[in-house]
């Protein structure tokens, strides 16, 4: 089983949107997927309840219970767990990033978003946790070419010591709203552009999860210490 988290200090970066769409996409590709919502806002859980479809599966827990929840998911035969988090780069984000196999950091291309990215990357750097960045809600590309704001944002991310997903996710109403029957647009139109972009992101994330860094299956312990020893305060 692999575990992926969506983390970002900045509210509205796209954590929940990408968590649910990656979960739906991976499930369409045959993964047995569980979403775990650790954000007190419970946006992913609300999306799931409104969706009214059992797959992907859904669980809610506090960050302190995440290791237990992952162990339970593994025992139930899930192959992929995607963890949504709250918009803070604090101790909770730190615990999540150290618990999962890979953390994906969504970032919009605006200057304020890029500044906020520093804080999230700081946390990841402290941990040396496997992580990468994806540009989200960018303007539509012109043909195959990313527009200037996207290219500039990508360029400014080069000074981070983290990989950046090669494909950005375009700002699209179809990613913001589920279909009336609860399905995601990408389920209804699996060959459409939104599905292609999410698919490209999933393949990249999947490669990062496999490239492993290392599989953490054997490392999880049910009760992580309250104050991990020797780590800088976050
Ligand atoms: N690629 C996109 N295209 C269209 N709308 C998007 C996209 N990404 C995010 N949004 C919209 O932007 C808003 C914020 O996105 P989302 O809730 O996914 O961010 P978040 O990082 O989970 O926010 P929070 O930090 O509050 O949990 C939502 O209304 C969502 O529908
Ligand atoms: Mg959210």
First to last CA, the chain: 29
The answer to whether the pTM exceeds 0.85 is yes
pLDDT at 128 > cutoff 80: yes
Burial of 48 (0-12, 13-18, 19+ CB in 10 A): buried
DSSP class of residue 38 equals -
Q: How far is the CA of 27 from the centre of ligand 1 (A)?
A: 21
Rounded to the nearest whole angstrom, what is the distance from the C-alpha of residue 84 to the centroid of ligand 2? 7
Most distant CA pair in the chain: distance in Å? 51
Other beta carbons less than 10 A from residue 185's beta carbon: 21
Cα–Cα distance measured from residue 205 to residue 211, given in angstroms and rounded to the nearest whole number:
10
Question: Chain-wide mean pLDDT for the chain?
Answer: 90
Distance (angstroms) between ligand 1 centre and the Cα of 221 equals: 32
Find all residues with CB under 8 Å of 142, minimum gap 6, and list them.
none
Ligand 1 pocket, mutate which of 12, 150, 174, 186 (most atoms under 8 A from CB): 12
Can you state the angle between helices 111-127 and 148-156, rounded to 10 degrees? 30
Domains of the chain: 2-211 (3.40.50.300)
* Whether the predicted pLDDT of 167 surpasses 70: yes
Q: State which residues have CB under 5 angstroms from ligand 2, the bound ion.
A: 15-16, 43
Instruction: Give the Å distances, CA to CA, from 106 to 11, 17, 23, 68, 230.
Output: 10, 10, 15, 26, 29
Tell me the per-residue pLDDT of 59-109, one tens digit each, with 9 for 90 and over: 999 999 999 999 999 999 999 999 999 998 788 888 999 999 999 999 999
**C-alpha distances out from residue 16 to 44, 105, 146, Å:** 6, 11, 24
43 CA from centroid of ligand 1 (Å): 10
Tens-place pLDDT, residues 17-58: 999 999 999 999 999 999 999 999 999 999 999 999 999 999
As a whole number of angstroms, the distance between CA 74 and CA 94 comes to 22
User: Residue 213: what pLDDT?
Assistant: 62
Q: Give bridge partners of residue 169 from the DSSP assignment.
A: 136
| Ligand 1 atom 23, closest CA | 12
pLDDT given for residue 89 in this prediction: 76
Question: Among 14-23, 175-184, 186-195, where is mean pLDDT lowest?
Answer: 175-184
């Amino acid at each position: 089983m692999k575990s992926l988290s969506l983390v970002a200090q900045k509210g509205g970066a796209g954590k929940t949107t990408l968590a649910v769409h990656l979960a739906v996409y991976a499930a369409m590709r045959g993964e047995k997927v569980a979403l775990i919502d650790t954000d007190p806002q419970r946006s992913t859980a609300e999306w799931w309840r409104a969706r009214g479809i059992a797959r992907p599966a859904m669980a809610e827990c506090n960050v302190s219970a995440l290791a237990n929840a992952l162990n339970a998911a593994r025992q139930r035969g899930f192959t992929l767990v995607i963890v949504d988090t709250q918009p803070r780069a604090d101790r909770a984000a730190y615990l999540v990033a150290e618990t999962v196999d890979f953390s994906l950091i969504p970032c919009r291309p605006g200057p304020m978003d890029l500044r906020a990215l520093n804080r999230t990357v700081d946390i990841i750097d402290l941990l040396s946790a496997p992580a990468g960045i994806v540009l989200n809600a960018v303007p539509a590309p012109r043909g195959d070419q990313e527009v200037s704001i996207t290219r500039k944002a990508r360029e400014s991310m080069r000074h981070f010591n983290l990989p950046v997903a090669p494909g950005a996710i375009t700002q699209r109403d179809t990613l913001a709203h589920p279909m009336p029957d609860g399905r995601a647009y990408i389920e209804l139109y699996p060959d459409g552009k939104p599905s292609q972009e999410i698919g490209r992101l999933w393949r990249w994330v999947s490669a990062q999860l496999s490239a492993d860094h290392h599989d953490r299956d054997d490392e999880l312990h049910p009760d992580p210490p309250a104050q991990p020893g020797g780590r800088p305060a976050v």
